[in-house]
A and B are shown apart, each in its own frame.
Chain A
Amino acid sequence: MSEQLRSSAHKQIGGQRPAHIAIAGLHIAKRFGHVQALTDANVTVHFGEVVALFGDNGAGKSTFLKTLIGMIKPDAGEFIVNDRPVSFSNIRDAQQAGVECVHQDLALAPDLSVVDNMFLGNEKLRRGFLGKLGALDRKEMTERADQALRELSIKLPSLKIEVSALSGGQKQALAVARAVMWGHTAILMDEPTAALGARQSAIVCDLMRTVAERGLGVLVVSHDLPRVLKVADRVTILWRGSTALEAFASELTIPEVVATMVGSGRDNIA
């Protein structure tokens, strides 16, 4: 089983060049007290592709995602980032390796401006004496934020506006843009369309494609099967803490995905 997974992980995409791994978690296991949250979770995301991680509630999607960015330390398993084995002990390690996560709650500071949110934790200081005092270089921050948003064709009313004044879709787009700005390896997204309307969900799905086309690996955890299945290159389905299926999105139908998610035909075995 494991050899199979490894070989599928290194599979060529669309018959092109051999793909390099942006981020992968292999044979991840994690136990919380009496709950075996993950037993053998596997996912591999290559540079330039969108991988959807599906699973029923309680399948371990969120836990799996958190292990990938160092928020949870697994009991067993290995991680690969940028083709190299890694071990993150916190979210900062992941960020330094170029792995950014768009959390379900977006992790924005609503009272701060768009620019300040884009640079939260990565503030750019001025040169010279004022910089030593901690003075921000808002001019450059604004320019870089503006550029980052333009590259993803994200339209916001203003960069100085408080984030609390943005719509749900705009906030989501901002969180994605921030992740793309700092991530240079992989972007992980946790339920990016859960709080959005149809039009805004479509925009966010477009964003995923745009990000992948820029060469990053995109892993998206979602319940929005129809929309995400359309945008994803490959699909990984978790069932009770283990990877039950890895397949190309084009080869799957929604009923098949749902059947795997709920583990039909597996209950007897388990």
Chain B
Amino acid sequence: MTTTPRQQSSELVRQLDPDFRAVKPKNPLQRFFSKTGTWILVLDIALIILFGFMSEDFVFWSQTNVEALMINGTEALLLALGLAMLLGAGTFDLSVGSNLVLSSVLGGLTIKAITGVPDVHGNYAHLGIAIALGVLVCVGSGVIYGLCNGILVAYFEINSLIATLGTMGIGTGLALVITGGGDVTGIPEQLQSGFGVASLFFIPYPALVAILAAIVLWAVLRFTRYGVRTLAIGSERTSAERAGINVKRHLTSLAALAGGLAGFAGFVDIARYGSTSQAGHVQDPLVAITAVVIGGTLIEGGKVSVIGAVWGTALAVVLQTGLIIVGAQSFYQLIVVGVVLIIAVGLDSYRMRRSRD
């Protein structure tokens, strides 16, 4: 092998200067396109364009549909965000769906208990207080649910898949026992008109909350001690322990956070439909995990892409709505999301292997 004089001189610089720390920096655009989430965003945009042109009168691009897309994605995104944080620390939560349901049942019953039956004009008593307490109960029960998960996983050292599989059954069962098997209905419609389906600048209120949550969690992971420690635990738990981090307490707090997000998703659920929907959330945890992993979050922990989770959630929602609008069976959505999941994760591990060589 021959070396050019230029290479030789740079080699010399390296030897002479102890502070020579050359690394070829990737330009921002290169970095942007090296991320899985970016490609999912590209896919999202392509699908939105495609469905727009395929739909009658471009109805896919209409304000109503865009708002519907966002509201459909809200609950999924809230669950996905919680799971992204947990996966970052290397643990799971299969119970987010039943957490959502149990929280929505408790919140719905609280609201109904305070407002009572409406007067002849359809007005409820103490509506404001009822709704405020409803949010509190939903989020609170979600946090407590999460805390139980966290304590089982962190302190009793039960594998998180198993522990939350167990609490998933317990939560679902509890919700059904409380309601006697039915759904909580007759929740004041003002909750729907005032929050559930209301919008600010074309963005539904619930979606605004979810977007805000995504921004906050992104900042937490990137700029705070809590975020660094979360990723450290997921990256190498024993290292985090040896660095003096209280790993058990941290894992419990993460589970409570994911639980709180699921609880708020439960509130969104009753705010949208005016009733609970116990049967509608069986798949939720799997959908959320899929969205998170498609977006580039490592299932092994240590790496989280919050923005990728947003694009991953969007993919499922865009596909589902888009297929219906163009007149295809929405079942294809399941197939496409499954294929994308495998391709995305496959490409990730291929890239990782190549970069190690």
Chain A interface (Cβ < 8 Å from any Cβ of B): 91-92, 95, 103, 105-112, 116, 120-123, 125, 133-136, 138, 150, 153, 155-158, 161, 165
Contacts and interface: CB of A to CB of B under 8 A. Distances in A.
A109 B224 contact: no
A111 B238 contact: no
Interface stretch (B17-25, B141-149, B268-276, B328-336): B17-25
A106 B235 CA distance: 13
| Among B21, B228, B245, residue most surrounded by chain A Cβ atoms (within 10 Å) | B228
Contacts of A116: 228, 232
A123 B23 contact: no
Nearest to A69: B242
A122 B303 CA distance: 21
Contacts of B20: 155
A121 B301 CA distance: 18
12 contacts: A91-B242, A103-B242, A109-B231, A109-B236, A109-B302, A111-B231, A111-B234, A111-B235, A112-B232, A134-B226, A135-B224, A135-B225
Interface string B54-76: 00000000000000000000000
Given A95-B244, A111-B303, A121-B245, A157 B23 contact: yes
A100 to B, nearest CB: 10
A155 B18 contact: yes
Q: What size tier do the contact residues of chain B reach?
A: 20 to 34
Nearest to B239: A107
B228 A157 contact: no
What 7 pairs between A and B have smallest CB-CB spacing? A121-B243, A111-B302, A111-B235, A157-B23, A109-B235, A120-B243, A134-B224
Contact of A92 (B18, B235, B244): B244
A107 B237 CA distance: 9
Contacts of B324: none
| Among B22, B223, B231, residue most surrounded by chain A Cβ atoms (within 10 Å) | B223
A172 B220 CA distance: 29
B22 A157 contact: yes
B21 A156 contact: yes
A153 B234 CA distance: 31
B243 A107 contact: yes
Nearest to B20: A155
B223 A135 contact: yes
Contacts of B239: 105-109, 120
B342 to A, nearest CB: 23
Interface string B249-275: 000000000000000000000000000
Contact of A150 (B19, B220, B225): B19
A265 B223 CA distance: 61
B296 to A, nearest CB: 13
Nearest to A159: B21
Contacts of A123: 225, 228-229
A224 to B, nearest CB: 23
A109 B234 CA distance: 9
B340 interface: no
A157 B240 contact: no
A158 B243 CA distance: 22
B225 A134 contact: yes
Interface in B1-50: 18-23
A105 B229 CA distance: 19
A158 B23 contact: yes
B227 to A, nearest CB: 8
Contacts of B18: 150, 153, 155
A89 to B, nearest CB: 13
Contacts of A153: 18
Given A107-B242, A153-B18, 18 more contacts: A91-B242, A95-B244, A106-B239, A107-B239, A109-B236, A110-B302, A112-B228, A112-B302, A116-B228, A116-B232, A120-B229, A133-B224, A135-B224, A136-B228, A155-B19, A155-B20, A158-B23, A165-B355
Interface string B209-237: 00000000000100111101101101110
A120 B225 CA distance: 9
A263 B220 CA distance: 56
